[in-house]
Amino acid sequence: MLRRVSQLAMLGLQDRIWTPGELNRHVRQLLEGDYRLQDLWVAGEIANLSQPASGHLYFSLTDGSANLRCVIWRSEAEGLPRLPRDGEAVEVHGHLSVYEAGGQYQLYADRIRLAGEGELFQEFMRLKQKLEGEGLFDPERKRPLPRWPKRVGVVTSPTGAALRDVLNVLSRRYPLVEVVLSPTPVQGEAAPAAIAQALAALEACDVVLLVRGGGSMEDLWAFNTEQVVRAVAASRAPVVSGIGHETDVILADFAADRRAPTPSAAAELATPDRQDLAVEIGKLTRGLSRAWQGRRQVLHQRLGEARAALATLAPQARLAGARQRLDELAGRTALSLRHRLSLRRASVGALVQTLHAIGPLQVLGRGYALVRLSADQALVRSVGQVSPGAGLQVQVSDGSFSAQATAVPAETSEG
Amino acid sequence: MSKPKAPDQLDFEQAFEELQALVRQLEQGELPLEDSLRLFERGQALAVRCNQLLDKAQLRLRKLAPDESGGYLEEDFQPEAE
């Protein structure tokens, strides 16, 4: 049968028989020859989005009953501000052609935008300029965040992933805070008024997190409304915004005191990290011990010096020296005994004065005391010298006073 | 200077900042032995207090709920289980 048909064709007795390849190529040329199909916008919802390892993007545009296959080559896909998502209403620009090997006609797309984005963008820019003109976004308006927040307000949906993310980060980083949730819907028509009210309702917070998870531009739209932007600017506590994803540009971000790319990042910006703090406390503890040891060493050394000074200045040592000198003088000169005695007396007097000036008194000035037994004026160096009830003379820098030993420990061995 | 509070009466911020100041003082100061010792001991107690607060802290969760007079009440809340 097949053979007969092709024989007929060869004989020219039958209309031309196509191969699939020939046909596909022909249809492709037809499509590509129609200039209206080579530069067009198609609106629809994204479905069956996939991006294999090749990096090309494949998806269908659907209007509910009909589908159109679309492809975005990797080179174009890399230029998109963000990847489209299933279910998003978009407008796609490109040209129609045929994938010959698959026999499929499809839209080769080069641009993609959210449906209605053009209009929304106009509105966004108009409002941004107006509020900017009022100074709502001025850098001077930005308030610093407290280093040690105690009460953290959170304005978001009570059921959203954003709240969960924020609570996870706060428990991990800095669970010392009290979190006050001011619940509000974050999308839909009622959202702007509800968000503004939720912001205003927070009292006595050190910082407020205004957060919402990612979504389409429409999903985030409440945060671009004048009502919400003004409520952010009017907040009593500094506001950290964390709305959508990194790439989303939101007016509320401009009015916030700090902008974070995501809800988790907002919680991080607003709190110190307890791991860093633990490290810091460790450093301080070591610094404390070091400083104390250093201080002790210095004082020890001074005590040693004072002891040595006391020893060399002890009256016996000085007197022995003086006596020797006097003997020498006596030997060398023929001084009368009287003269010798008076010289000796004067010498001793001078020595005593020197002692007072440079000896123990200086040490006493630092808070040390000399303790003598009242009975024999012996310097007390050991508890062994003191018996209970013994009278003591305590000499401090500017005089001395009497005291009595009330309790004396059992004799201890020296160590 | 007023009498310092017992370390376990201090919140984290107070304990941490006093600890910082105290280490600086001990490092720079020409303090008598007795005062140095007092600072050292207090510093140790403050560090213990800080670590204790960090280790034991539990996030406290409150939620605003509208009351009848148009204001708000604060109540405890538990986030929904994941």
Q: Give chain A's domain count.
A: 4
B35 within a domain of the structure (yes/no): yes
For A274, residues 6+ apart whose C-beta sits below 8 A from its C-beta are: A173, A174, A175, A176, B54, B57
What is the rounded distance in angstroms from the CA atom of residue A174 to the CA atom of residue B12? Answer: 11
The reported pLDDT for the residue numbered A259 is 94
Residues of chain A found within 8 Å of residue B59, distances taken between Cβ atoms: 167, 170-171, 175, 177-179
A127 within a domain of the structure (yes/no): no
Q: Which of these three, A314, A342, A360, is where a domain ends?
A: A360
Chain A: closest CA distance from residue B54 (Å) = 7
Q: Measured between CB atoms, does B64 come within 8 Å of chain A?
A: yes
Q: Given a cut of 70, is residue A49 above it in pLDDT?
A: yes
Q: Nearest CA to B57 among B3, B11, B26, B7?
A: B11
Q: Which two tokens stand for residue A159?
A: 């059921």
The enclosing H or E element of A89 equals strand A89-99
Q: Which of these three, A238, A272, A306, is where a domain ends?
A: A272
Q: Which of these three, A54, A80, A115, is where a domain ends?
A: A115
Choose the closest CB to A178 out of B16, B37, B62. B62
What is the rounded distance in angstroms from the CA atom of residue B17 to the CA atom of residue A206? Answer: 18
What is the rounded distance in angstroms from the CA atom of residue B7 to the CA atom of residue B15? Answer: 7
Q: What residue numbers bound the domain in which A406 lies?
A: 369-415
Chain A, chain B: beta-carbon pairs less than 8 Å apart: 108
pLDDT in tens, A313-356: 666 666 677 667 766 665 555 445 555 566 666 666 665 555 55
Chain A: closest CA distance from residue B1 (Å) = 22
Q: Give chain B's domain count.
A: 1
- Beta-bridge partner residues of A67: A62
The CATH number assigned to the domain holding A212 equals: 3.40.50.261
Confidence of residue A414 (pLDDT cuts 50, 70, 90): very low
Choose the closest CB to B40 out of A292, A366, A367. A292
Residues of chain B found within 8 Å of residue A171, distances taken between Cβ atoms: 58-59
pLDDT in tens, A108-131: 999 888 877 666 777 888 999 999
Chain A: closest CA distance from residue B4 (Å) = 18
Confidence of residue A226 (pLDDT cuts 50, 70, 90): very high
Q: Looking at residues B36-64, what average pLDDT do you find?
A: 90
Choose the closest CB to A183 out of B26, B57, B63. B63
Whether residue A269 contacts residue A246, with contact meaning beta carbons closer than 8 Å, is answered with no
pTM for this model (two decimals): 0.57
A405 within a domain of the structure (yes/no): yes
List all residues of chain A from 102 to 161 with a beta carbon under 8 Å from chain B: 147-148, 150, 158-159
Which stretch of A11-15, A106-110, A393-397 has the lowest confidence by average pLDDT? A11-15
Choose the closest CB to B58 out of A175, A277, A287. A175
Q: What residue numbers bound the domain in which B47 lies?
A: 7-76
The reported pLDDT for the residue numbered A350 is 63
What is the rounded distance in angstroms from the CA atom of residue A415 to the CA atom of residue A196? Answer: 76
The CATH number assigned to the domain holding A81 equals: 2.40.50.140
Q: Which two tokens stand for residue B17?
A: 């900042």
Q: Measured between CB atoms, does A204 come within 8 Å of chain B?
A: no
Looking at residue B8, the DSSP 8-state letter turns out to be G
Nearest CA in chain B to A173: B54
